[in-house]
Amino acid sequence: MGWILTGFALIAVIDLVPLILQRRGRAIAAFLTVFVIALTIAVLPALGVQIPPVLTFFDKLFKSIGLSY
Amino acid sequence: MKIDQSQISSTRFMYTIAFFLQSSALLTAFLSSITEHDSWIPVLIGGVLCIPLILVYRSLMVNFPENTLLGMLDTVYGPVVGKILGVGYVWFFLTLSALNLTDLGDFTKITVLTETPSMILAIFCVLVVVWAVRHGVKVVTRYSALFTITEFFIVFISTLLLFDKIDLKNFLPMFQLEPIKYIHSTHIIATIPIGELVVLLMLTPSVKLSRKTATKCWFLGVGMGMITLLVVLMRDIAVLGNTMRMFALPGLVTMRLIHLGESLSRVEILFAVALMMLLFFKVAVLCYVSTIAIAQMFKTKKYKNLALIVGIFVVYYGTILYPNNVEHVVISQEMMPFFWGIFEIVIPILTLVIAKIRKLPKKQPEKQKQKQEVQHAWDGS
């Protein structure tokens, strides 16, 4: 868990801080969107929370409408 | 909107297409478990049936030379629907990146670095990819020609060295399976390696192509890639026969059979290294495309600052895509051809048809020219 947070903090220092200093609003929004999702996906399993597999969800969805071999 | 200012030549683009297809040599097991020793037939049929699809991709590239795929969607469908489809494509690119990165990690773990966790392999791979992405499309695709030719060379040499183990009877009996199995395999070939070429439409503003050059690049690139896939598959069938369906990596098993006396054995490492190289470059192109797509969605040109976080996202995203490798293969065989077909076949064809009906893109330079002429006339008077 500590390693994950340190890694993400390092990424923020490398890429987010220069964007903030340059006041690039759109780039900051793009960075933070990906950052928050990535951090969530990384931290939840470390906290013992199981994330349902994405493709299994679509597999069930497509099978339910009959689009599958 | 041109985000990356660097340009690549049409030849490099052609080799990018070729290696993109060659890197799917790892996935021949998807076919061999369905059409067994007849798996080369769907590759051949799929290659021919996908000619119209390749023409659609080429036409989109030629008609919208200044736009990436997301730009084309915006132009054709308008800003709202275009953005919704754009979000779908961003997800598609990220998912493809994550799937290929996971494949690369798993493959490296099975063949070369058996003690190293896949996650560590994926992170190190992504760090190199991020470095390349930060330097633009020129660096991402720089070694495409070298690796395409290396793969050709390895496939050619391995086929020669396996000549004594090739049994042509392994191809018999032909066309004995149910027709649905051939359709199924052809659908997989059309969507998993060939349809994935849709991601290269994101490189459109970085490649200057005339109609003639574009046709040449697309068809030569696809031709080279498909020939490699076909030769790999036919070599594996000729050597392994029906036992091929028992292996997750038939190519690796075939290469293990190469023995030239005492001196030359364990040649499968060549196959492993070649495939790792190709997969690495596929992941690099996919990560580049994902980064550019996200930057374009947010209308920012600072894509270099997004590369690292996109790479790390792809690493973690790969861990939540499917619960295990068995389910990965089953999902890829049963559901993916339909799902990926939406992004790779349906939307591009629809986009081209709507663009033709709406006579898009409007020829801006001529309008500007007319305006300039009017202005000159006014100035003159």
**Each residue's pLDDT tens digit, A18-44:** 999 999 999 999 999 999 999 999 999
Residue B248 has φ and ψ, to the nearest 5°, of: -75, -30
DSSP letter string, B197-261? GGGGGGGGGGB---HHHHHHHHHHHHHHHHHHHHHHHHHHHHHHGGGGGG-S-HHHHHHHT--BT
In a domain, B207, yes or no: yes
> H helices then E strands: how many in chain A?
4, 0
Q: Does A43 touch chain B (CB under 8 A)?
A: no
The domain that holds B305 is classified in CATH as: 1.20.1740.10
Quote the pLDDT of residue B381: 33
Ranges B19-23, B286-290, B314-318, B367-371: which has the least confidence:
B367-371
> Looking at residues B70-83, what average pLDDT do you find?
94
User: Per-residue pLDDT averaged across A32-58, rounded?
Assistant: 93
Instruction: Supply B62's token pair.
Output: 């030629």
Least Cα separation, residue A37 to chain B (angstroms):
8
Which pLDDT score is estimated for B371? Answer: 57
Pick the closest to residue B85 from B75, B74, B95 (CA basis). B74
B126/B311 Cα distance (integer angstroms): 6
Residue A42: CB atoms within 10 A of its CB come to: 21
Residue B154 has pLDDT above 90, yes or no: no
The sign one gets for the Cα dihedral B156, B161, B164, B166 is negative
pLDDT-based confidence at residue B378 (cuts at 50, 70, 90): very low
Minimum mean pLDDT range among A7-16, B41-50, B323-332: B323-332
Structural domains counted in chain B: 1
Is the pLDDT at B228 greater than 60, yes or no? yes
CA distance B208 to B371: 26
Weakest mean pLDDT among B18-27, B55-64, B234-243, B327-336: B18-27
Report the chain A residue with the minimal C-alpha distance to residue B183: A69
Partners of B21 in the β-ladder: none
* Whether ipTM exceeds 0.85: yes
Domain residues for the domain of B230 are 10-380
Q: What is the pLDDT of residue B370?
A: 57
Distances (CA, A) of B163 to B6, B39, B140, B232: 45, 20, 36, 13
Average pLDDT over residues B341-349: 95
Look up residue A21 and give its amino acid. L
Q: Judge whether A3 is closer than 8 Å to chain B, CB to CB.
A: no
Provide long-range contacts, Cβ within 8 A and 24+ apart, for B147-151.
B147/B19, B147/B274, B147/B277, B147/B278, B147/B281, B148/B15, B148/B18, B148/B19, B148/B22, B148/B224, B150/B274, B150/B277, B151/B19, B151/B22, B151/B25, B151/B228, B151/B274, B151/B277, B151/B278
Report, as an integer, the average pLDDT of B76-100. Answer: 95
Query: Which residues are CB-contacts of A38 (< 8 A; sequence separation ≥ 6)?
Result: A8, B309, B312, B313, B316, B317
Question: Residue A56 is nearest to which of B180, B327, B338, comparing CB atoms?
Answer: B327
Any A CB within 8 A of B309 CB: yes
Q: How is chain B split among helix, strand and coil, in percent rounded to 5?
A: 80, 0, 20
Q: Which residues in chain B have Cβ-Cβ distances shorter than 8 Å to A58?
A: 335, 339
Cβ contacts of A67 on chain B, cutoff 8 Å: 335, 338-339
Nearest CA in chain B to A43: B316
Q: Which of residues 21-40 of A touch B (CB under 8 A)?
A: 22, 24, 26-27, 29-31, 33-35, 37-38
Per-residue pLDDT for B221 more than 90?
A: yes
Residue B127 pLDDT > 90: yes
Distance from CA of B362 to the nearest CA of A (A): 28
The pLDDT value recorded for residue B364 is 60
pLDDT for B380: 37
pLDDT of residue B285: 95
Strands (DSSP E) found in chain B: none
